Chains A and B, each alone.
Chain A
Amino acid sequence: MLKSRKTLNSDASLIKAWIAADPNHQGLTETSFFLPPEKPSDAKLFFYAVEDESGPIFYVRGENCLRLHIQFAPNQKRRMVRAISEFASTMAKGAKKLGYSELIFESVFHPLIRFLRRRGFKSSQNEQILNLR
């Protein structure tokens, strides 16, 4: 049976050692990423240490993100360019104010992907999603 508790600063040395031994995280992830921030933050974050009967088995950092699903009007490319730019900027400011860490959307439409990349969106490698509904 798993038990969880809030991650403490005293977990830092163990997290550091685990990151150093993890080929997918070493050199890429700082220990502080899995620790509560020292200064109060507006972002909605949580940090847990999860333990099985033999002790800590993983540390987790959770962030609140806003997922977008978008339906565009057809054949309105010129109007769309201006509207998307303004919409993305407005949404980002609003989401940040509400404590979200990211806006996320899913797309395979390359013109849109290129367009939004120029406005700060990044492709996210190896992303996987679990629907709770």
Chain B
Amino acid sequence: MNKSSIFVKRVSKDDPEAGLVAEWLAKDELHQSLGLTMEDVFAYGPIDLISDEQGPLIAVRTHLAMRAAMQFRPESRLRIARIGSEVVEWMKREAKDWNCSEVVIRPGGKAQKFAEKLGFREFIGKYLGV
């Protein structure tokens, strides 16, 4: 088996390496077009800086999210619509109890528009089940 070729260092916004990440961000057209700033990079505290033997390569910000899967009672559209905002508040409380910063859902059918109305935004997610 190959020996590990990457190294990880925890970096805070006041560390010298933060300047390097700022340079990368400034050259990243996609992230610039999204309006990402160094404030965003360190929004959740220190980040991980991944290096290989030639130096730093990747900066990673991590935080916790709660994925919620729901099974609603069928043919109860009115009841569900009435409690929509209360459900969101309930989810927020649960997620915060778990130290999560986001709730992720995968609604199907008409629930997609309902979720948007409740404040969820579209997310082009890629995931790896571990």
Contacts and interface: CB of A to CB of B under 8 A. Distances in A.
A65 B65 contact: yes
A129 B62 contact: no
Nearest to B38: A71
Nearest to B67: A63
Interface of B, helix, strand, loop or mixed by DSSP: mixed
Contact of B100 (A95, A119, A132): A132
B28 A71 contact: yes
Does more than half of chain A's interface fall in helix, strand or loop, or is it mixed? mixed
B126 A22 contact: no
Interface residues of A, number: 81
A73 B69 contact: no
Nearest to A22: B74
A129 B66 CA distance: 10
Given A23-B109, A70-B60, A83-B52, A130 B127 contact: no
- The number of chain B residues touching the other chain, given as a range, is 35 or more
A22 to B, nearest CB: 6
A58 B71 contact: yes
Contacts of A124: 106, 125-127
A67 B128 CA distance: 11
A74 interface: yes
Interface centre among A83, A121, A122 (most CB of B within 10 A): A83
A128 B105 contact: yes
Nearest to B105: A128
Interface of B: 4-6, 21, 24-25, 27-28, 30-31, 41, 43, 50, 52, 54, 56-76, 79-80, 83, 86-88, 90-92, 94-96, 98, 100-109, 111-112, 115-116, 118-130
Interface of A: 1-2, 4, 15, 18-19, 21-25, 29, 33-34, 44, 46, 48, 50, 52, 54, 56-74, 76, 79-80, 82-84, 86-88, 90, 92-93, 95-96, 100-109, 113, 116-117, 119-133
- The list of the 7 closest CB pairs from A to B, nearest first, reads A24-B108, A127-B125, A21-B74, A128-B120, A124-B125, A96-B130, A129-B123
Given A67-B63, A104-B65, 16 more contacts: A18-B71, A25-B108, A56-B73, A58-B70, A61-B70, A62-B68, A62-B94, A79-B54, A101-B129, A107-B126, A123-B126, A126-B112, A127-B106, A130-B105, A132-B96, A133-B43
